[in-house]
Amino acid sequence: MTRTTIRYTALLAMLAGTPALAQVSATFEQIPNVSSANDLTPDGRFVVGSYDSNGDFLPDDGYRWDRLTDIFTIIPSVGTATGVDTILAVSDDGSVLVGNIPETSVEEFSHQAAIWTDADGWTGLGWLPNAGLCPSRSSGYEISGDGTVVVGLSWDGCSGRAFRWTEATGMQELENLPTAATAPRCSRVTATP
């Protein structure tokens, strides 16, 4: 892996003409064939995102990189849809991942929110009852730290709706905000009930 270290001094301190208030150091590591790094566990151990398996510069699969053990796991895609199952989120212990897989009950290209574990592979989470193909049935965006709650976007016809999913309740629509300018989605979850 290539390591690049970047150091910079707080811009505000420089503009004010005063001594630097603090120095910040960041280290970046380039991960070969990775299209994106989408999430990181709070302790920084696991990194997840999309992976270019065939070298065409498009995401084909997902990945989970354990930085402690340096184990890089390619999460195989489902079907042939490029970029559909990009991994978007990871539980705090790195055991449950959230992404999207093809929804195969229709001929038209579509996908649904899904979770992935070592034991079960991909499991689709479904979609809200009236979900159209706009362009997906549902999309997962985030998972709780303990891996039991997933949030994201599904549809009522072609009107976007935020959802919350647990194994016990399935996918449930969250309150619709009628003043939203774009399709509402839930992108963050901080705790389980």
Residue 84 is predicted with a pLDDT of 53
The answer on pLDDT for 143 being more than 60 is yes
The answer on pLDDT for 167 being more than 70 is yes
Maximum mean pLDDT: which of 25-34, 104-113, 166-175: 166-175
Residue 18 is predicted with a pLDDT of 46
Q: Using alpha carbons, select from 143, 135, 132 the residue that is nearest to residue 92.
A: 143
The answer on pLDDT for 21 being more than 70 is no
Domains and CATH numbers, the chain: 1-30 (no CATH), 31-173 (2.130.10.10)
Biggest alpha carbon–alpha carbon distance for the chain: 64
pLDDT band per the 50, 70, 90 thresholds, residue 104:
low
The answer on pLDDT for 59 being more than 90 is no
Residue 190 is predicted with a pLDDT of 55
Q: Is the peptide bond before 76 cis (omega within 30 degrees of 0)?
A: no
Residue 1 is predicted with a pLDDT of 38
156 in Cβ contact with 173 (< 8 Å): yes
Mean of pLDDT values over 36-54: 90
pLDDT band per the 50, 70, 90 thresholds, residue 7:
very low
Mean pLDDT of the chain: 77
Q: Tell me the torsion sign for CA atoms 54, 59, 61, 63.
A: positive
The model's pTM is: 0.77
Q: Percent of the chain scored above 70 by pLDDT? A: 70
Tell which wins on pLDDT, 7 or 74. 74
Mean of pLDDT values over 5-15: 33
Residue 71 is predicted with a pLDDT of 93
